[in-house]
Structure 1
């Protein structure tokens, strides 16, 4: 599996970009998966549902399975947060895994940067940034790609990962 990261500050447009990239990749016959990092607590379950009751009772893992999808919830409890490598090992084989967030992870990534967000670049701290996608012209030492030209961004990622 090839991995490629999309990272940027909150509000920079990472999720929107990924949402636009995935159909372009799948239209080329690629199987794409995604891992999204979140700094916020989250829960895909709801109190009162059977699966939530099982987790509250102490189950380490609860799998929901139906005709259209299945989902596995793993409670970390006292375990350390898994690394990106450990999370990637949980995925089924695919052609490309897009990784949202994980700025410091050792994988090639695109920094999504909008000057209007008012945040600094982070590629100076994380050497795995291979290019920057922006909605403005930038003076930096990396390739700068037009954030609004999603097909060109898709082509860049596929060339970089050698999937094109």
Structure 2
């Protein structure tokens, strides 16, 4: 299983890019899973549903299954947030895991940058950034693709993804 991250400031277009990148990788025969970091309190459950009631009652894990999908929710209940490596260990094996967020971790990343955000570049301060996708030319010699060239970004993703043992 290989890993690549999409890292950038909020509003740079990471999620929009992810929605276009996953189908492109799928057309190339690459099985993809994703991990998304959230910086705020979030919920994937619906208040009032049985699984929500179980979780609110104090269950540490709630697994919901149907003929179409299953989902496992884990409440930390004061335990420390798990690291990226630990979270990767929770996934079933696939060809590629694309990580959105976790920009401070050491896994290989592609920086997503949008000039209109007015935010600074993450590279060169982050040596794990291997390439850049942006709406302007970057101030470095790293491989670069325009944000709207999904096939070129997919090439960068596949070229720079690495196995867990490599970072």
1:73 deviates by 0.3
1:106-145 alignment runs, 5 A limit: 106-145=106-145
Q: Aligned partners of 1:151 and 1:49: how far apart in 2?
A: 41
Question: Could you state the TM-score of these two structures normalised by the residue count of structure 1?
Answer: 0.94
**What secondary structure does 1:22 align onto?**
helix
Superposition CA RMSD, Å: 1.2
1:22-41 alignment runs, 5 A limit: 22-41=22-41
Which residue does 1:8 correspond to in 2?
A: 8
1:85 deviates by 0.4
**What secondary structure does 1:153 align onto?**
helix
**Per-residue displacement from partner, 1:89-141 (whole Å, max 9, x unpaired)?**
00000000000000111111000011111000112332100111111123323
Q: Aligned partners of 2:19 and 2:73: how far apart in 1?
A: 23
**What secondary structure does 2:82 align onto?**
coil
Which residue does 2:165 correspond to in 1?
A: none
Q: Aligned partners of 2:103 and 2:132: how far apart in 1?
A: 13
The unaligned stretches of length 5 or more in structure 1 are none
Return 71-80 or 20-29, whichever deviates more: 20-29
Which residue does 2:149 correspond to in 1?
A: 149
The unaligned stretches of length 5 or more in structure 2 are 163-167
Partners of 2:37 and 2:102 within 8 A in 1: yes
Return 143-152 or 7-16, whichever deviates more: 143-152
Q: Aligned partners of 2:142 and 2:30: how far apart in 1?
A: 27
Question: Could you state the TM-score of these two structures normalised by the residue count of structure 2?
Answer: 0.93
Partners of 2:131 and 2:156 within 8 A in 1: no
Q: Aligned partners of 1:4 and 1:34: how far apart in 2?
A: 10
**Per-residue displacement from partner, 1:55-80 (whole Å, max 9, x unpaired)?**
11111100110111110000000110
Return 31-40 or 122-131, whichever deviates more: 122-131
Q: Aligned partners of 1:128 and 1:98: how far apart in 2?
A: 15
